Amino acid sequence: MAKFGKRTRAAREAVAGKENLSVEEAVALVKANASAKFDETVEIAMNLGVDPRHADQMVRGVVGLPNGTGKTVRVAVFARGPKADEAQAAGADIVGAEDLMETIQGGTIEFDRCIATPDMMPVVGRLGKILGPRNLMPNPKVGTVTMDVKAAVEAAKGGEVQFKAEKAGVVHAGVGKASFDEAKLAENVRAFVGAVAKAKPTGAKGTYLKKIAISSTMGPGVSIDVANASGE
């Protein structure tokens, strides 16, 4: 049986028996238990009634969190000429074409979001096996294949979060930092849940939003009442 430290035991005891809370109650509890020496990320996990192996049940999308993520997002852009200049002016961390492709093929991935202009996709396509599993492949459905690289870079830097259902139908993401005040965290949580709810695929049958929980990086999970979070 695993042994936990005093801080972990105290955090687990604090949430024991507390389930299906309102968003505000859950946020308050998570903040109270975020006692690490660094500013912990507040993470959300949603269990969905889908099987992503079926194309008509895949859930993916993007949401701009009203209060940002509190995280510095490193952005890479595949572009040439004026569009490359536009990306750099917008604050992209890395801009390139074949040279960037070769860097990534060499094992160096120093970015959290990848954006590409449509004409660069033949180049980016060669990186599918590297970027795909990391959920970094540019995709027009989430606005990362676009001619408007300025807007895409600014959105990525400004707190936009991508989400995608994993094999078990779970979606997870960071929705802020433990240092955020409770109202801002709650607003971010509701915005994320709302975006996932709107992304319900055509093939989803039965209950779509099954379970929702939030936690801090080092803290235990706290379950949220689905109806409260989604406004049902």
Q: pLDDT digits over 85-137, tens only?
A: 999 999 999 999 999 999 999 999 999 999 999 999 999 999 999 999 998 99
Torsion sign over Cα 94, 98, 101, 106: negative
Say if CB 153 and CB 83 are below 8 A apart.
no
The band of 230, judged by pLDDT with boundaries at 50, 70 and 90, is: confident
Higher-confidence residue of 172 and 17: namely: 172
- What pLDDT is recorded for position 76? 98
Instruction: Report domain 75-157's class.
Output: alpha beta
Start-end ranges of CATH 3.40.50.790 in the chain? 75-157
CB 80 within 8 A of CB 123: no
Specify the pLDDT at position 20.
87
Is a pLDDT exceeding 80 seen at residue 12?
Answer: no
Task: Quote the pTM value.
Answer: 0.81
Q: Poorest-confidence range of 8-17, 140-149, 205-214?
A: 8-17
Q: Quick check: 63 pLDDT over 90?
A: yes
Q: Describe the chain by its helix, strand, coil percentages, rounded to 5.
A: 40, 20, 40
Which residue has 């969190």 as its token pair? 65
pLDDT band per the 50, 70, 90 thresholds, residue 8 = low
pLDDT value of position 19: 77
Q: Classify domain 19-69+161-230 by CATH number.
A: 3.30.190.20
Mean pLDDT score of the chain: 92
Q: What is the pLDDT of residue 136?
A: 94
Q: Taking 80 as the threshold, does the pLDDT of residue 184 lie above it?
A: yes
Give the tokens for residue 16: 């024991």
Domain with CATH 3.30.190.20 in the chain: 19-69+161-230
pLDDT above 90: percentage of residues in the chain: 85
SS3 154: helix
CA distance 142 to 137: 10
- pLDDT at res. 1: 44
d(CA 83, CA 106): 25
